[in-house]
Chains A and B, each alone.
Chain A
Amino acid sequence: MATVKFEQVQKRYDNGFVAVKDLNLEIGEGEFLVLVGPSGCGKTTSLRMLAGLEDISSGNLHIGNQRVNDISAKDRDIAMVFQSYALYPHMSVFENMAFSLDLQGVSKADIKTRVTQAAAQLGIEPLLSRKPKQLSGGQRQRVAVGRAIVRNPAVFLMDEPLSNLDAKLRVQARAELSKLHRDLGTTFVYVTHDQVEAMTMGSRIAVMNGGILQQVDTPQNLYDHPANVFVAGFMGSPSMNFFEAVVQSTEQGLVAQTETFTLPLPHDRQARYEGHVGQQVILGLRPEQIHHPSYAAPGIEPVAVKAEVGVVEMMGHEAIAYFTLPNASEFIARVDPRAKLMSGETLEMLFDTQGIHLFDKASEALL
């Protein structure tokens, strides 16, 4: 078990491309930290620097109390689960799991105990004598995890370990990994592009984009208080709706005025937005905060906005509806499936003003 600390870490390739810029991130002991972001955002590069597979251009990287910049991968006491699993095709499952212990010079008897134990933990004991070729995708994934846990490392690294599984298995594997983390209590650093995985598994989530760390927080805080437009848009599916607006002062207090509708800003945040009157802002509202008039949730502060129904995707437990405003801008709402929306009809949808997020238009940062 160990902490991990990135200090002003930078990765610059020979061709001048900066993959990770000034990364500052502390990962606590026993934490399950998820690095999330779109492809090319620098999350995998950060993980690979931590793994020792990629040189660090500048800055400091600590594992525990040790600066590891110049320590090779094998001496960092970390294990990694690869996206492709990277099982050695010529070795049996047992040999795959035993490989690192064998290299460390652990005795045969100890290896046997530890491998069997890890295999039992993952329910792969019957597979020990098989070759990777003879395993299903889910089994391979477990072997890859097993290969990491036999070593009992200080930090576990996982690079999109579930992306090669089908949707159903992935849900199951997610729960298994969370349980594994609870059982082991070791620090996990987990890279994914899937925000659902991030939300469901991470004790904290670090969102990256364009090589820059955007925000680090618990899943719920990240969802409720995104620090900028990127995080707000990236976390949550369907994405948050954004509208261009101007903050205006009226007799009833501050409002955000868009081309087609005006929303009063929440009472408890009036003081916070005081200084931004007259300013161009981006107004964000999540699809679940836009309600159908007949199925509005209790306790909301609704404002009716007229819009035309476009495509409706029935998901069974909910419906995702695309709306068009008179000025042709669009938004998405997550509505009750009982609301029988008809494509082409015009409705007065209810916008819950409590859910409003305001971002500066230029910097895209939360106001």
Chain B
Amino acid sequence: MVAQTSKSNQGSLLEKLIAKAPVHIAVVAISFIWTLPTIGLLISSFRKAEELTQTGWWTVFEHPFNFTQFHLANYADVLTGQGMGQAFLNSLVISIPATVMPIAMATFAAYALAWMRFPGRQLLLALIIGLLVVPLQMTLIPVLRTYNQLGLAGSFLAVWLAHTGYGLPLGVYLLRNYIGTLPKDLIEAATMDGASHLKIFTRIIVPLSTPAIASFAVFQFLWVWNDLLVALVYLGGSKEVAPVTLVLRNLVGDRGQDWHLLTAGAFISMIVPLVVFFSLQRYFVRGLLAGSVKG
């Protein structure tokens, strides 16, 4: 009796597997196709320049254990010779403050918008939601002109402030939505416990909002790191300050057929976002779900 049940279970398991085969095939195929371009890039970045332009990257699988076909020289070249190392540092210098600054401002503003009563609150919120989708292109010319007048163009400060301004609508929107759903009782209990607004903010709101703050941080960081437009317009061509995206794009323009440089350079530009993405994917997805109106 028992044996029979388990046998029929096995039968249905096999049946299930067969019935689900198209699903498995489809999922595996799509995942494979989606990953292939990136894998090609990664493998190519380790191949020798002359082989790279002679044969397809998939040919390395003809001798999968022949490690002599790989080397690190492309990376060495692109990091030092093409200024990618400098750019990598610049990207960090740009991205970290441009992430921290809007977080601080947006969290305070979100708290005020969610829990303080003042006239015009609803109007401000509607304005911020409207600003979420304003194309950056609308702001480039006037801001660049002001920067030129102030002598700020080409400086890190210029991009920090610009990214802060551009990131704020999403930050305020996302954080207000989250902070607004914290139980009202908690804030009132803190009030009764003798906490001022600032104490409520630092001791209750911020610790409880860390998931939302982390989401926005991941979002903003990736946005800034991956940005080309803002860097291109406000930093101009100077290698001193150019981030990885800008250097990579110049590589495409100047050395468009030097695949050993392009592939290694592209991978260097991707490594930080990929690490952030894989380690903090949870927060990134949550941020996407909460604030998917930014363009």
- The answer to whether any beta carbons of A and B sit under 8 Å apart in the complex is yes
In the complex, what residues of B have CB within 8 A of residue A104's CB?
194
B189 touches A74 (CB 8 A): no
Interface size bracket, A side: 20 to 34
Query: Quick one: closest A residue to B203, CB to CB?
Result: A99
Q: How many A-B residue pairs have CB under 8 A?
A: 58
Would A82 and B207 count as touching, CB distance under 8 A? Answer: no
Partner of A53, one of B191, B196, B199, B208: B191
- Bound Cα distance A103, B198 (Å): 12
Q: Does A261 contact B (CB under 8 A)?
A: no
Q: Number of B interface residues at 8 Å Cβ cutoff, please give it.
A: 17
Most chain-B Cβ atoms within 10 A of its Cβ — which of A52, A72, A84, A99?
Answer: A99
**A80 interfacial contact with B, CB 8 Å:** yes
Q: Which B-chain residue is minimally distant from A73 (CB atoms)? A: B191
Residues of B within 8 A of A99 (CB): 190, 193, 195, 203
**Nearest CB on B from A87, distance (A):** 8
- What is the 8 Å Cβ interface bit string for chain B, positions 159-185, against chain A (1 contact, 0 not)? 000000000000000000000000101
With A86-B183, A89-B208, A90-B207 in contact, is A103–B189 under 8 Å at CB? no
A86-B183, A86-B186, A88-B186 known; A74 vs B203 contact (CB < 8 Å): no
**A99 smallest CB distance to B (angstroms):** 5
Tell which of A72, A85, A86, A103 touches B188, judged by Cβ atoms closer than 8 Å.
A86
Q: Is B191 a contact partner of A100 (Cβ separation < 8 A)?
A: no
Q: Is A51 at the interface (CB under 8 A from chain B)?
A: yes
Give the residue name and chain of the B residue nearest to A76 (CB). Answer: B192
Cα distance A103–B193 when bound, in Å?
8
Q: Which of B181-227 contact A (CB under 8 A)?
A: 183, 185-186, 188-196, 199, 203-204, 207-208
Residues in B neighbouring A85, C-beta threshold 8 A: 185
Say yes or no: A78-B208 contact (C-beta < 8 A), given A84-B185, A86-B186: no
A48: nearest residue on chain B (CB-CB)?
A: B188
Distance in Å from the Cβ of B190 to the closest Cβ of chain A?
Answer: 7
A90: B residues at CB distance < 8 A: 207-208
B194 and A82 contacting across the interface, CB-CB below 8 Å = no
Measured between beta carbons, the chain A residues less than 8 angstroms from B190 are 88, 99
Question: Across the interface, do B194 and A84 meet the contact criterion of CB distance under 8 Å?
Answer: no
Binary contact readout A122-166 vs B (1 if CB under 8 angstroms, 0 otherwise): 000000000000000000000000010001000000000000000
A74's partner among B186, B195, B204, B208 (CB-CB below 8 A) is B195
Contact A80 B196 (CB under 8 A): no
New A-B pairs, 4, CB < 8 Å, besides A51-B188, A53-B191, A104-B194: A52-B191, A85-B185, A103-B199, A147-B193
Name the 3 nearest CB pairs between A and B, nearest first.
Answer: A86-B185, A100-B193, A86-B189
Give me 22 A-to-B residue pairs in the complex whose CB atoms sit less than 8 angstroms apart, sorted by A's number: A51-B188, A53-B188, A53-B192, A72-B191, A74-B193, A74-B194, A78-B192, A82-B188, A82-B189, A86-B186, A87-B189, A88-B186, A88-B189, A89-B186, A89-B208, A90-B208, A99-B190, A99-B193, A99-B203, A103-B193, A147-B193, A151-B193
- The interface of chain B, by Cβ under 8 A from chain A, is 183, 185-186, 188-196, 199, 203-204, 207-208
Residues of A within 8 A of B (CB): 51-53, 72-74, 78-80, 82-90, 99-100, 103-104, 147, 151
